[in-house]
Chain A
Amino acid sequence: MADHTLEIRDLHVAVEGKEILKGVNLTIHTGETHALMGPNGSGKSTLSYTLMGHPKYEVTQGEILLDGESLLGLSPDERARKGLFLAMQYPVAVPGVTLYNFLRSAVSAVRGYTEAARKAGNNRLNAHLIPARAFRQEVNEELAKLKMDKAFLRRYLNEGFSGGEKKRAEILQMALLKPKFAVLDETDSGLDIDALRIVAEGVNRLQAELNLGLLVITHYQRILNYIVPDFVHIFYEGRIVQSGGASLVEKLEAEGYAWLEAEVA
């Protein structure tokens, strides 16, 4: 499997004129798992949205490079098609759009069916979508692995989903879109221990299958018992203030984030 590199260089980001990220540096290779830990409000989600190209987050300085090429000029869908995935902290509900239709559209876009049909000028009904039969089989297999009911597919995207259902649906999307790099933003929040185990198993399996580069964002260490990081970064006030191995998690667990204030100040 080919190796890829996602590099974040001196990234500064402002939201509504206010600087939130203040020089983030981080390099992730496929196959690696990085944990990013930090207190609430430190800018972790800002980093994940910025990576994915949310229009509200303005990059004022620095670079995001995928295999040396800048992603900054690309729209979120172009980034997704280049192999980036963000499992969101707060997945948005889209009323009236069934999970099935959404997944089929997304997979068709990321795997190139949509563009191929458009290029060929093929405007027949459903020409832009992955064939239904093969897709349904694939979805059903992934659902089974994540212990999700098939009836789920008929529900409207994230509408009325419980916290745990939303997070599982995010991982289901990741499984189908097969990215190179995935950011999991607080995927553990809202999950009970059984659901956490299932989701973590799913992530580990996908990492093995796809040689994923993973950035696991969390402010608890709980999920890191199941998804074991190669690198741990501590995030504070818009920057990575310390990096190390898995042992850093234990230090955080024992001492909390309070010591950071003294250290950074």
Chain B
Amino acid sequence: MAHDDLHKLKDQAQYDFTTEVDYAHTVRRGLGEDIVRELSAVKGEPPWMLAFRLKALETFLRMPMPTWGVDLSSLRFDEFYYYMKPVEQEARSWDDVPDSIKETFERLGIPEAERKFLAGVEAQLDSESVYSSLKEEWEKYGVIFVDMDTAVREYPDLVREHIGKVVPIADNKFAALNSAFWSGGSFVYVPPHVHVEIPLQAYFRINAQSLGQFERTIIIVDEGSDVHYIEGCTAPQYSTAALHTGVIEIFVKRGAHARYTTIQNWSTNVYNLVTQRAVVEEEGRMEWVDGNLGSGVTMKYPAVVLKGRKAHGEVLSIAFAGQDQYFDAGAKAIHLAPETSSVITSKSISKANGRSAFRGLVRINRGAQGAQAKVVCDALLLNPQARSDTYPYINVAEDEAQVEHEATVSRINEEQLFYLMSRGLSEADASALIVNGFLEPFVKELPMEYAVELNRLVQLQMEGSVG
């Protein structure tokens, strides 16, 4: 984070803070219709939202578990709480946060207030006020950027029109779970021909909810508009809840451009099962920039559905699987219209017994003449036990289309290591530099402050002190 700027903003904004604190509310452990009804009631939702949730629950219960990807056999749905108000999370004490996490905050140089927030100890009232001053700026242009609960209250028609349209309830079991229990997440609407200059950062909007287990985010970028949305933070997000299933739905209208950047660094007790998808209309552009460092297991395949002529989609992702981490991540590009193009670039690093699998799907439907797709995935293994797999699925039904696929697996090169060490760098520092170089194509797409933190995180991950 650009801490200094942030603090300046906080100072300016601290007087216009007005928020009532909610009462703590936790439902019983496990899932059931009673819980869906209760949480919907607590949120004061309209009947259509409750109906959506109930339908999703029914779908979830009916759907089988995925039989591919990571091993989910030890996942017990009954063990979790499915709704916790932010206040409840606040009640957790700083003393309960594991030392390893605190130490990492220390090493990242994250200010005290932010640390507590990231650890889920207290709601970030300060950032709420930062948000409100930025909000004024956006509102001038008609940009809506609120949390999803607010959106359901204040923009019910917009939400109703879009929710579940890009990621249907029955898309997969975890999308159904999210649809039943979602809480928190962002709602963004950018009116036609508005270029939002400053990236919209969930960080500014955040309250403890958006760090929740089941965030639901909807981003609508109307014709000719441009927005960059950033979710998450490079600091480890400590969570006592071990299940995270988010759903992100993005609508890129004609000639619009959206970029969604996320770096997840959940603590290693977390199952991270996320569905991210964008539908892109004529001449629109969508870019997913997706970093995965944390969690115990992750399944995540940001997708672009290229629906209009000349729509373009990119997925740029990295995964760094350390000790006991298993990632099954990748991307999907679905070409439905002529002259659509997609680029999928994946970089994965595996260390210790970490496993990282790339699963990439490219589908080109009949009629998508002149479609072009390119998939590049590079894996770097840091030691002999680490493992990397590639599962490309390429499905082309159109003769006049072009698909390129390249995959490489490499190890740290001995000559590079010698070269750097002959210049005084220790073996660990030299390796970290090589790894940072490997990730550079990703890092250079990040805003400066994230790039700095990511490099640092990689270094910690290399030393084995994170995760």
Chain A residues engaging chain B, CB cutoff 8 angstroms: 52-56, 75-77, 79-81, 85-86, 88, 91-92, 94-97, 101-102, 105-106, 109-110, 114, 123-125, 156-157, 173, 177
Q: A114-B429, A124-B109 are in contact. Are A97 and B434 (CB under 8 A)?
A: yes
- Which residue in chain B gives the minimum CB-CB distance to A114? B429
3 cross-chain pairs, A with B, having the tightest CB-CB distances, nearest first: A96-B437, A96-B440, A109-B424
Question: Is residue B415 within 8 Å, beta carbon to beta carbon, of the partner chain?
Answer: yes
**Contact of A102 (CB < 8 Å), options: B413, B427, B433:** B433
Complexed CA–CA distance, A95 and B106 (Å): 31
Q: Smallest CB-CB separation from B110: which chain A residue?
A: A125
Do A106 and B436 have beta carbons less than 8 Å apart? no
B436 and A96 within 8 A (CB): yes
Q: Does B142 contact A (CB under 8 A)?
A: no
A101 to B440, CA, bound (A): 12
Q: Are B429 and A125 in contact (CB under 8 A)?
A: no
A76 to B423, CA, bound (A): 8
Contacts of A53 in B (CB 8 A): 422
The answer to whether A177 and B433 touch across the interface, beta carbons within 8 angstroms, is no
Nearest-CB residue, chain A, relative to B106: A123
Residues of B within 8 A of A91 (CB): 419
Contacting residues, chain A, for B416 (C-beta < 8 A): 92, 94
* Residues in A whose Cβ lies below 8 Å from that of B426: 77, 109, 114
Q: Is B9 an interface residue (CB 8 A)?
A: no
Please tell me if the beta carbons of B438 and A80 are within 8 angstroms of each other in the complex. Answer: no
- A92 to B437, Cβ gap below 8 A? no
Contact of A110 among B413, B419, B424, B434 (CB under 8 A): B424
Please name the residue on chain B nearest to A128 by beta carbon.
B429
Residue B195 is within 8 A (CB to CB) of chain A in the complex: no
A96 contacts which of B414, B419, B441 (Cβ < 8 Å)?
Answer: B441
CA A81 – CA B429 in complex, angstroms?
14
Contact partner, A81, options B107, B424, B437, B440, Cβ 8 Å: B424
In contact, A76 and B421 (Cβ under 8 angstroms): yes
Q: Whole-angstrom distance between the alpha carbons of A156 and B439 in the complex?
A: 13
Shortest distance in angstroms between A164's beta carbon and chain B's nearest beta carbon?
19
Query: Known contacts being A106-B424, A125-B108, A125-B456, is A55 close to B441, with CB within 8 Å?
Result: no
Q: How far apart are B159's CB and chain A's nearest CB, in angstroms?
A: 40
A125 engages B109 (CB within 8 Å): yes
Q: When the two chains form their complex, are residues B419 and A77 in contact, meaning their CB atoms are under 8 A apart?
A: no
- A88-B419, A92-B419, A94-B416 known; A106+B438 contact, CB < 8 A: no
**A171 and B70 alpha carbons, distance in the complex (Å):** 50
Cα–Cα, bound, A56→B415 (Å)? 10
Give the nearest-CB partner of B107 in chain A. A123
Interface pairs (5), CB distance under 8 Å: A77-B422, A77-B423, A86-B422, A94-B419, A177-B423
CB-based nearest B residue for A109: B424
* Range for the number of chain B residues in contact with chain A: 20 to 34
Q: Does B113 contact A (CB under 8 A)?
A: no
Q: Are B424 and A97 in contact (CB under 8 A)?
A: no
B161 → A minimal CB distance (Å): 43
Q: List residues of chain B with CB within 8 A of the CB of A173.
A: 423
- Kindly provide the distance from the CB of A208 to the nearest chain B CB, expressed in whole angstroms: 23
* B418 sits at the interface (CB 8 A): yes
Q: Are A177 and B440 in contact (CB under 8 A)?
A: no
Determine if B407 is an interface residue (Cβ-Cβ < 8 Å).
no
**Pairwise interchain contact A77-B427, C-beta atoms closer than 8 A:** yes
Q: Most chain-A Cβ atoms within 10 A of its Cβ — which of B106, B414, B421, B441?
A: B421
Q: Contacts A55-B414, A102-B433, A105-B433 given: A96-B438 contact, CB under 8 Å?
A: yes
Q: How far is the CB of B318 from chain A (nearest CB, A)?
A: 12
Whole-angstrom distance between the alpha carbons of A118 and B398 in the complex? Answer: 58
Cα distance A88–B418 when bound, in Å?
11
In angstroms, Cα B438 to Cα A156, docked, is: 11
- B418→A55 contact, CB < 8 A: yes
Q: Which listed residue (B422, B436, B456) contacts A97, Cβ 8 A?
A: B436
Nearest Cβ in chain A — how far from B5, in angstroms?
Answer: 16
| Contact between chains at B423 and A97 (CB < 8 Å) | no
- From residue A139, how far is it (CB to closest CB) to chain B in Å? 14
In this complex, the member of B424, B426, B430 whose beta carbon has the largest number of chain A beta carbons within 10 angstroms is B424
A80 and B427 in contact (CB under 8 A), knowing A96-B436, A96-B437, A123-B106? no
- Shortest beta-carbon distance from B418 to chain A in Å: 5
CB of B434 to closest CB in A, whole Å: 6
CA distance A173 to B422 in the complex (A): 11
Q: Which of A80, A88, A124, A157 contacts B424 (CB 8 A)?
A: A80
Q: Return the contact of B422 from the options A76, A96, A102, A105 (Cβ within 8 A).
A: A76
Considering the chains assembled together, what is the distance between the CA atoms of A75 and B429 in angstroms? 14
Residues on B with C-beta less than 8 A from A106 are: 420, 423-425
Indicate if B51 sits at the interface (CB-CB under 8 A). Answer: no
Give chain A nearest CB distance to B353 CB in angstroms.
25
A110–B419 Cα gap in the complex (Å)? 14
Nearest-CB distance from B75 to chain A (Å)?
Answer: 35
Contacts of B429 in A (CB 8 A): 105, 109, 114
Known: A54-B418, A114-B429. A94 touches B109 (CB 8 A): no
Query: Chain B residues near A96 (CB, 8 Å)?
Result: 436-441
Give every chain A residue within 8 A of B109 (Cβ-Cβ): 124-125
If A77-B427, A105-B425, A173-B423 touch, whether A94 touches B108 (CB-CB below 8 Å) is no
Q: Tell me the smallest distance from the CB of A240 to a CB of chain B, in Å.
A: 23
Contact (Cβ within 8 A) A94 B423? no
Decide if A95 touches B456 in the complex (CB within 8 Å): no
Residue on A with the closest CB to B420?
A94
B residues near A102, Cβ cutoff 8 Å: 420, 423, 433
Given contacts A109-B425, A123-B107, contact A76 B418 (CB under 8 A): yes
Q: By CB atoms of chain B within 10 A, which of A81, A86, A105 has the most? A: A105
Q: CA–CA, A123 to B430, complex, Å?
A: 17
* Contacting residues, chain A, for B421 (C-beta < 8 A): 75-77, 80
- A161 CB to closest chain B CB (Å) equals 13
B433 in contact with A97 (CB, 8 Å): yes
Cα A97 to Cα B106 with chains together (Å): 26
